[in-house]
Structure 1
Amino acid sequence: MSDEAAKRRAVLNHSGVIDARTLADSHRRLAELIRPGMRVLDIGCGTGAITRGIAEITGPEGLVIGIDNDPDWIAKARAEMQGTAGISFEVGDIYDLPLEQQFDIVTSARVLQWLSRPYTAIEQMVKRVRSGGKLLILDYNHHRIEWSPPIPSSMQSFYNAFLSWRSDAGMDNEMADHLAELMERTGELNDIVSLSQLEFTQRQDPDFIHKALIWAEVADFKGKQMVQDGYISEQDRARAERDYRLWVQSQGEYQQMYLQSVEATKI
């Protein structure tokens, strides 16, 4: 399928999931690397939830730019950071970044999994890293998710269809485990390091239900796209969402999403 198919399937109809993210909780390795005065480019910034956390550390003497291809999200990010020194937001395409500056750190989080041409995106990102600077990418391998006890069969069927829907648009469901290879292929990076950033939540955690319910939300907003595309019936989608919500409320013990950060230094 074309880039347009992947782009259409990547669209989020609401930003609740990304609005709730923070630098400390959602991009932990980046939080360890950021220092005051740094120049940082955040690609696929959404409404700027993580980007704002970066700017709080780099401060007014630093430079933080967030880029996203959704004009509405960029407008929201700008409105929330209006008047704050050292941070700006731009509408842009990851395949053709509209910047000439070079940065100490160029990063993207949970973005490349939605692309049909992740290597092209990495090539663009590398161009924006200064010599000696870092490229840092955070992403999932969706095949390595774990639930205990097993989720309802209706939801497992939905999840399998979700992965097919993604891969048929050229998206890599195992993106996390392919990042290092793609970075090495550029020939412009060394010291490539992969770090586990597993997202684990268990029932005794106060936010377990909130975090585990992300897949009910996927069954809602992505599932409706899948129905339109013929990957699942509305009846089966609704059943999967309902059964999974009940599982989270009454049966689920833990969920672990396989997330990796991969960083490299520009030669």
Structure 2
Amino acid sequence: MTTTLGVPRPDQASYMMRTAASPAGRAYKRRLMELLDVRPGQTALDVGCGPGADLPSLADGVGPHGRVIGVDRDPAMLAEARRRTDDLPVVELREGDAHALPVEPGTVDRAKVDRMLMHVADPGEVLAMLHRVTRPGARLALAEPDWDTLVVDAEDLDTSRAFTRYTTSRVVRNATIGRRLARLAQRAGFAVETVDAATPVFVDFEEADHTLGLGRNTRRAIQDGYLDEETGHRWFASLAEGPFYASFTLVTVVCSH
């Protein structure tokens, strides 16, 4: 088989901004910000701020007398975030690891973590650090996918299931972090207030290929010997024939210090 397996791996900053701008991305981010309830004069923290997609909204929330701190460990992401927020004097960007946040203890009123805990070495340690830097009465909003719930419609159901298993076992570090959020947050000392679940649905094959990595992860699965090459190519080619459907569960948890 010579089928091209999807789009190349995108630039990470572009990938994050495109995902945030998608209909599903805008919907859950709007809900996340509503639940976070940022108010004028507060200090808001965005852990794993990436290219800064959410920093302008946080800046609007805290107003001219508040403060927004964006933390990311990737200098390239921070450079893009800095470019995006040059005209927002309340935004301060700091390079640092989520396990050892460069933030003074007990100084944060609102904090958010969006699709970042699935990548870290120890989500529980990150949440404990967030408990340390937030003040009593602070609010924390978390949003993470549960990749065990990824479904991709195809006649070859076995390969669709194998693709999900490969995603959860080899592609994403903490693939089931979504379902664990409330438990881990409570263990870190937070009081859980709200648990929501949304189901982003993809009916456009190209958008799903970009966001879910259908082609590039099929290629990895073949290279790792997880999928037979002919089967993998045939499965991926069938997805483009349409109609297309894929979905997963995105969990949002809001808690207080």
Residue 235 of structure 1 deviates from its aligned partner by 4.8
Contact 1:24 1:31 in 2 (8 A): no
Q: Which amino acid aligns with 2:183?
A: E
Residue number among 255, 262, 266 corresponding to 2:246 in the alignment: 255
Q: Which amino acid aligns with 2:209?
A: L
Deviates more, 1:236-245 or 1:120-129: 236-245
Residue 31 of structure 1 deviates from its aligned partner by 1.8
What secondary structure does 2:100 align onto? coil
TM-score, normalising length from structure 1?
0.76
In structure 2, what is the equivalent of residue 47 of structure 1?
51
Residue 74 of structure 1 deviates from its aligned partner by 0.4
Residue number among 96, 106, 126 corresponding to 1:92 in the alignment: 96
Matches within 5 A, 1:17-36: 17-20=15-18, 21=20, 24-32=26-34, 33-36=37-40
Matches within 5 A, 1:169-208: 171-186=173-188, 188-201=189-202, 203=203, 208=204
What secondary structure does 1:35 align onto? coil
CA RMSD across the alignment: 3.1
What secondary structure does 2:69 align onto? strand
Deviations 1:128-162 (A, max 9, x none): 21100112111011111234456776555333222
Residue 34 of structure 1 deviates from its aligned partner by 2.6
Contact 2:51 2:80 in 1 (8 A): yes
What secondary structure does 2:166 align onto? helix
Residue 58 of structure 1 deviates from its aligned partner by 2.5
Contact 1:158 1:219 in 2 (8 A): no
In structure 2, what is the equivalent of residue 214 of structure 1?
210
Q: Which amino acid aligns with 1:239?
A: H
Once residues 231 and 119 of structure 2 are traced to their aligned partners in structure 1, the CA distance between those partners, rounded to angstroms, is 21
Q: Given the superposition, is the C-alpha separation of residues 153 and 35 from structure 1 closer, same or farther in structure 2, using an over 3 Å criterion? A: same
Residue 86 of structure 1 deviates from its aligned partner by 0.9
Once residues 240 and 88 of structure 1 are traced to their aligned partners in structure 2, the CA distance between those partners, rounded to angstroms, is 49
In structure 1, what is the equivalent of residue 144 of structure 2?
139
Task: Count residues in correspondence.
Answer: 242
Matches within 5 A, 1:106-185: 106-148=111-153, 156-166=161-171, 171-185=173-187
Contact 2:152 2:160 in 1 (8 A): no
TM-score, normalising length from structure 2?
0.79
Once residues 221 and 201 of structure 2 are traced to their aligned partners in structure 1, the CA distance between those partners, rounded to angstroms, is 27
What secondary structure does 1:141 align onto? strand
Q: Which amino acid aligns with 2:167?
A: F
Residue number among 236, 239, 246 corresponding to 2:233 in the alignment: 239
Deviations 1:57-115 (A, max 9, x none): 33322211111111111011102211322112211100100111621111101111112
Once residues 69 and 244 of structure 1 are traced to their aligned partners in structure 2, the CA distance between those partners, rounded to angstroms, is 39
Contact 1:165 1:231 in 2 (8 A): no
Contact 2:78 2:95 in 1 (8 A): yes
Q: Given the superposition, is the C-alpha separation of residues 86 and 153 from structure 1 closer, same or farther in structure 2, using an over 3 Å criterion? A: same
Runs of at least 5 residues in structure 2 that lack an aligned partner in the other structure? 1-8
Q: Which amino acid aligns with 1:69?
A: R
Once residues 242 and 233 of structure 1 are traced to their aligned partners in structure 2, the CA distance between those partners, rounded to angstroms, is 12
Asked if 1:74 corresponds to 2:78, the answer is yes
Runs of at least 5 residues in structure 1 that lack an aligned partner in the other structure? 1-10
In structure 2, what is the equivalent of residue 59 of structure 1?
63
Q: Which amino acid aligns with 2:243?
A: Q
